[in-house]
Chain A
Amino acid sequence: MIRLGALAVGLLFVVNVLWGAIAPREAASPDMTKELHKHPKHMEWAHNGPGNLGVFGTFDRAQLQRGFQVYKEVCAACHSINRVAFRDLADLGYNEGQIKTIAAEYDVAAIDSNGEPTTRKATGADKFPLVYANEAAARAAQNGANPPDLSLMTKARPDGTNYVYSLLTGYSDDVPKGWVKPDTLYYNPYFHSINIAMPPPLAADGQVTYSDGSPATTDQYAKDVTAFLTWTAEPKLENRKETGMAVILFLIIMTGLGYLSYRKVWADVKKA
Chain B
Amino acid sequence: MSFPWAKQYQPTSEVGKWMDERLPLARFVHDALGPGYPTPKNLNAFYNFGVLAGVALVIQIITGVVLAMHFAADTRVAFDSVEHIMRDVNGGWMIRYMHAVGASFFFGVVYIHIFRGLYYGSYKPPREVLWMLGLVIFLLMMATAFMGYVLVWGQMSFWGAQVITGLFSAFPVVGTYIQTLLLGGFSPDNATLNRFFSLHYLLPFVTFGVIILHVWALHIPGSNNPTGVDVQSEADTVPFHPYYTAKDFVGLGIYLILFAAFVFFMPNSLGEPDNYIPANPLSTPAHIVPEWYFWPFYAILRAFTTDFLGVPAKLWGVLAMFASILLLFLLPWLDTSPVRSNNYRPLSRLLFWVFVVVAVVLGVCGGKPAEEPWVRLSQVLTAYYFAHFLIILPIVSKLEKTKPLPGSISEAVLAKYGSKSGGGDAAPLAQPAE
Determine which of A9, A240, A258 lies in contact with B390 in the assembled complex, contact meaning CB atoms within 8 Å: A9
The smallest beta-carbon distance between A45 and chain B, in angstroms, is 14
Asked whether A10 lies within 8 Å of B387 as measured between CB atoms, the reply is: yes
Interface size on B, residues (CB 8 A): 71
Name which residue of chain B comes closest to A153, CB basis.
B276
Given the known A-B contacts A240-B264, A258-B246, A269-B238, are A248 and B286 also in contact in the complex, defined by CB atoms under 8 Å? no
Asked whether A160 lies within 8 Å of B253 as measured between CB atoms, the reply is: no
- A239 CA / B383 CA spacing, docked (Å): 49
- A185 CA / B135 CA spacing, docked (Å): 53
Asked whether A241 lies within 8 Å of B264 as measured between CB atoms, the reply is: yes
Stretch in A137-145, A210-218, A259-267 with 4+ CB within 8 Å of B: A259-267
Does B417 count as interface, using CB distance less than 8 angstroms? yes
Name which residue of chain B comes closest to A54, CB basis.
B265
Pick from A11, A251, A261, A263 the residue with the most CB of B within 10 Å: A251
List residues of chain A with CB within 8 A of the CB of B313: 20
Asked whether B83 lies within 8 Å of A83 as measured between CB atoms, the reply is: yes
Determine which of B93, B303, B309, B327 lies in contact with A240 in the assembled complex, contact meaning CB atoms within 8 Å: B93
Asked whether A17 lies within 8 Å of B382 as measured between CB atoms, the reply is: yes
Asked whether B249 lies within 8 Å of A262 as measured between CB atoms, the reply is: yes
- A131 CA / B83 CA spacing, docked (Å): 20
Asked whether A262 lies within 8 Å of B250 as measured between CB atoms, the reply is: yes
Given the known A-B contacts A3-B334, A155-B273, are A13 and B320 also in contact in the complex, defined by CB atoms under 8 Å? yes
- A254 CA / B252 CA spacing, docked (Å): 10
- A108 CA / B379 CA spacing, docked (Å): 57
Does A243 count as interface, using CB distance less than 8 angstroms? yes
- A262 CA / B250 CA spacing, docked (Å): 7
Does A247 count as interface, using CB distance less than 8 angstroms? yes
List residues of chain B with CB within 8 A of the CB of A17: 303-304, 320, 379, 382-383, 386
Asked whether B265 lies within 8 Å of A20 as measured between CB atoms, the reply is: no
Does A52 count as interface, using CB distance less than 8 angstroms? no
Does A255 count as interface, using CB distance less than 8 angstroms? yes
Determine which of B389, B391, B425 lies in contact with A267 in the assembled complex, contact meaning CB atoms within 8 Å: B425
List residues of chain B with CB within 8 A of the CB of A7: 390-391, 394
The smallest beta-carbon distance between B54 and chain A, in angstroms, is 17
Stretch in B9-17, B108-116, B141-149, B255-263 with 4+ CB within 8 Å of A: B255-263
Beyond contacts A13-B320, A21-B383: 10 other A-B pairs, Cβ-Cβ < 8 A, are A6-B394, A9-B386, A10-B386, A16-B316, A23-B306, A55-B265, A258-B246, A267-B425, A270-B422, A270-B423
What are 25 residue pairs bridging A and B, where the CB atoms are less than 8 Å apart in the complex? A3-B336, A9-B327, A14-B383, A14-B386, A17-B379, A17-B383, A18-B379, A20-B305, A54-B266, A152-B277, A156-B276, A192-B286, A240-B97, A240-B264, A248-B257, A251-B253, A255-B256, A258-B246, A258-B249, A258-B252, A267-B425, A269-B238, A269-B243, A270-B425, A272-B235
**In the A-B complex, the 6 residue pairs with the closest CB atoms:** A244-B264, A10-B390, A255-B253, A21-B379, A156-B276, A13-B386
